[in-house]
Amino acid sequence: MYRILVVDDEPQIVELLQIYLEMQGHKVTGAYDGAQALKLWKQDKFDMVLTDIMMPQVDGYDLVEKIRNESNVPILFLTAKTDLVDRVKGLQIGADDYILKPFDPLEVVTRVSANLRRCYGYDMDIHNKELVCGNLKLSTDKCSLNKNGQIVELTALEYRMLKFFMENQGRVLTKNQIYEAAWEEEQFPDDNSIMVAISKLRAKLQEEQYHYIHTIRGLGYRMEARHEE
């Protein structure tokens, strides 16, 4: 998981990119002007920055120059400025890539992955091979679950379901989302089938120290390692 700062004065763009990038397992923080972005940058550690150019208070060029004084994290410009001079300026002050608006969010995801790989090498593959939550370690390379040093046997359905939960820790997941990620059937199972499957998975994950899969009444389920009385 990489921490990405997305900066744009159009909230719908920030929200759209947040959805797509979080689906890839990244942690995304949004900012709506350059000044807010600088404040967040100083408060937290980010692995990548995606930023618009034309913004109030502090524009994208100034933002990138200030970040470049402190860090070599990959930076992508998202902008409607199409002039070659503007693009050259952006690259000269330290941007790694330039994406023109309007854009396809899938293209942005691809560019993000390429630049992360270029900057951090093949560590991305290493990160993706093991998902961790509390005392749980899920190897996506070996398709196996380790809990407190012990291997836990999972069915194929349980593995797909747990992988989806662990890739989306802290997020509320609906039954529809869980079904699409874990079931390989055209017909949607009834609610009881999903509840039974989650109950069986919970039983395998349960331990004295942590509870993992929590019911969010009326919405769905959320995974997080949490102590409960």
pLDDT tens for each residue of 14-72: 999 999 998 888 899 999 999 999 999 988 889 999 999 888 888 888 999 999 888 88
Task: Work out the average pLDDT over 80-108.
Answer: 81
Q: pLDDT class for 93, splitting at 50, 70, 90? A: confident
Task: Work out the average pLDDT over 152-181.
Answer: 89
pLDDT tens for each residue of 111-152: 898 888 877 765 554 445 688 898 999 987 677 899 988 899
pLDDT at position 214, please?
93
pLDDT tens for each residue of 174-192: 988 898 888 866 666 677 8
The rounded distance, in Å, linking the Cα atoms of 59 and 55 is 5
Question: What fold, for 3-121?
Answer: Rossmann fold (3.40.50)
Task: Work out the average pLDDT over 65-82.
Answer: 86
- The H-assigned helical ranges of the chain are 11-23, 34-43, 60-68, 84-92, 105-120, 123-129, 156-167, 175-182, 191-205
pLDDT at position 126, please?
45
- Both tokens of 131, joined, read 């998902």
pLDDT at position 49, please?
95
The rounded distance, in Å, linking the Cα atoms of 176 and 191 is 10
Q: Regarding predicted confidence, which is higher, 121 or 165? A: 165
The rounded distance, in Å, linking the Cα atoms of 154 and 164 is 14
Helix axes 60-68, 84-92, angle to 10 degrees: 20
pLDDT at position 30, please?
95
Q: Which CATH number fits domain 129-226: 3.30.750.24, 1.10.3720.10, 1.10.10.10, 3.30.70.560?
A: 1.10.10.10
**Residue ranges per domain, the chain?**
3-121, 129-226
pTM: 0.54
Q: With 80 as the cut, is the pLDDT of residue 195 above it? A: yes
| Residue 143, Ramachandran bin (φ over 0: left; ψ between -120 and 50: alpha; else beta) | left
